[in-house]
Amino acid sequence: MTKASPADSSDSSLPSEIWVLISASFVIALGFGIVSPALPQFATEFGVGVFAASAVISTFAFMRLIFAPASGTLVQRLGERPVYLSGLLIVALSTGACAFAQTYWQLLVFRGLGGVGSTMFSVSALGLLIRMSPSRSRGRVSGLYATSFLLGSIGGPLLGGAVVGLGLRAPFIIYAVALVIAAAVVFFSLGDMKETGVESDSSVTVLTLRAALRVPAYRAALASNFATGWVIFGVRVALIPLFVIAILERSAAVAAVSLAVFAVGNALVLTTAGRLSDVRGRKPFVVVGLVVSGVGTAVLGLTENLVIFMVFSFVAGVGSGLMTPAQQATIADIIGSRARGGPVLSTFQMSADVGAILGPVVAAKIVEGYSYGTAFVMSGAILLLAAAWWLLVPDSSPRAREHEEST
């Protein structure tokens, strides 16, 4: 008798392997946050200026972007597990090497290699979640995974501020050790990859990028992920601190609070939204989330009242939290539990990365030529356009498809 895969299970409980990946996600985000406060300051220790110190951060994102297609190909050829573990170890080794860098250029190269490993494990992690998630719990799993990463991202910088007291090299060593431990736990928890892993399953099919692009929901997901990268990961992080100081005439500490308020709004709805998208469909949560986040973003740039600014920071965070799990679950619905779609996943990731790179640059030019209000309104409009695109596509959830087939 053939053993049922986790994805075929009708049990409401989740496979233990998924909880391992969720826990690893928290550790990864926590460690990234620990390193973040120390990295720019550490770079300046080599006698470089602010621009060069910032380049150390940018090179990580740049390497993630350009290596994403190769990561997708590796997943397609080797399978998710080996690519995931290799990516974790590459980031561990490169981060540990940063602690022993003797020159600025060594630090730049080591950090860039970390970006290569980062895109490897992020693309393959999404693939693993898709393969292991029960089809009727994909939204719930996406919400849990996103929540774990968010909580790690919030806690990391707080812990990193304390760790820096041990020296600027200490955070890199701590993160490297944590990643090695996480890789070991994942390796033993997921079992023998050659004998029991899905990589050896002859029934596994391949979903090409060309085939995925023929699916309306995938094209809509690329558009909304690009908009999310542009606004949530790009403009929000780059412009809000400047807006708070220049327009609201408050300190950088207030800007940090507003970013935290956004994160709180996000965290409060992620898990619930993901679970409900399994029951009520993906499309309603993506559309409503994009609209709420778009309106919240637009209003941010039109107010000079701090209380209203904080309220709509929270609103924008709620919108992002409503949308994120359903959008990721849509990708899982399209690929399915018995197919491998490395390039499909890497292209989805790249759409957000491209948005995050272009968004701050374009928005900054709009601020210089017009105003902060114009930049935020335009950013909100991008999210609303993505919502309009989603209105035109069918829902991808299993329940929605079953309903269509029955009628």
Say whether both 234 and 162 belong to one domain: no
Say whether both 183 and 244 belong to one domain: no
The pTM (predicted TM-score) of the whole model is: 0.83
| Contact of 331 with 126, CB cutoff 8 Å | yes
Domain boundary among 168, 201, 234: 201
Say whether both 122 and 157 belong to one domain: yes
Q: What is the DSSP-derived secondary structure letter of residue 2?
A: P
Domain total of the chain: 2
How much is the pLDDT for 402?
Answer: 60
Q: How many Å apart are CA 364 and CA 362, to the nearest integer?
A: 5
Collapsed DSSP state (helix, strand, coil) of residue 30:
helix
Residue 233 CA from chain centroid, whole number:
9
How much is the pLDDT for 130?
Answer: 87
- Tell whether 326 is covered by a domain: yes
| Contact of 355 with 235, CB cutoff 8 Å | no
- Tell whether 4 is covered by a domain: no
Q: How many Å apart are CA 373 and CA 239, to the nearest integer?
A: 11
Following CA atoms 130, 134, 135, 140 in sequence, which dihedral angle do they give, to the nearest 10 degrees?
Answer: -80
Helix axes 342-369, 306-335, angle to 10 degrees: 160
* CATH number (domain holding residue 239): 1.20.1250.20
Residue 357 CA from chain centroid, whole number:
14
DSSP character string of 275-342:
HHHHHH-SHHHHHHHHHHHHHHHHHHTT---HHHHHHHHHHHHHHHHHHHHHHHHHHHHHH-TTEE-H
Domain boundary among 181, 201, 221: 201
Q: How many Å apart are CA 205 and CA 78, to the nearest integer?
A: 13
- Tell whether 10 is covered by a domain: no
- Tell whether 2 is covered by a domain: no
Say whether both 183 and 70 belong to one domain: yes
How much is the pLDDT for 2?
Answer: 37
Tokens of 62: 């740049």
pLDDT tens per residue, range 143-170: 999 999 888 888 877 777 777 778 888 8
Instruction: List phi, psi (to 5°) of 195.
Output: -100, -40
- Tell whether 405 is covered by a domain: no
Of 321, 312, 315, whose CA–CA distance to 286 is shortest? 321
Say whether both 181 and 155 belong to one domain: yes
- Tell whether 402 is covered by a domain: no
Tokens of 151: 């909580």
Say whether both 303 and 340 belong to one domain: yes
Domain boundary among 175, 201, 227: 201
Q: What is the DSSP-derived secondary structure letter of residue 205?
A: E
| Contact of 218 with 336, CB cutoff 8 Å | no
Say whether both 288 and 359 belong to one domain: yes
Say whether both 231 and 118 belong to one domain: no
Q: Residue 74 region, left (φ>0) first, then alpha (ψ -120 to 50), else beta?
A: alpha
Say whether both 100 and 151 belong to one domain: yes
Say whether both 75 and 49 belong to one domain: yes
Say whether both 34 and 158 belong to one domain: yes
How much is the pLDDT for 200?
Answer: 47
| Contact of 123 with 72, CB cutoff 8 Å | yes
**Residue 20, CA distances (Å) to 26, 73, 141, 354 in order:** 10, 25, 12, 30
Say whether both 169 and 40 belong to one domain: yes
- Tell whether 229 is covered by a domain: yes
Of 342, 349, 334, whose CA–CA distance to 70 is shortest? 342
Tokens of 161: 């501020």
How much is the pLDDT for 344?
Answer: 94
* Count, residues in the chain: 407
Collapsed DSSP state (helix, strand, coil) of residue 208:
coil
How much is the pLDDT for 357?
Answer: 84
Q: Which domain holds residue 126?
A: 15-201
Extract the residue ranges of the chain whose pLDDT is less than 50. 1-11, 192-201
- Tell whether 9 is covered by a domain: no
Q: How many Å apart are CA 326 and CA 130, to the nearest integer?
A: 13
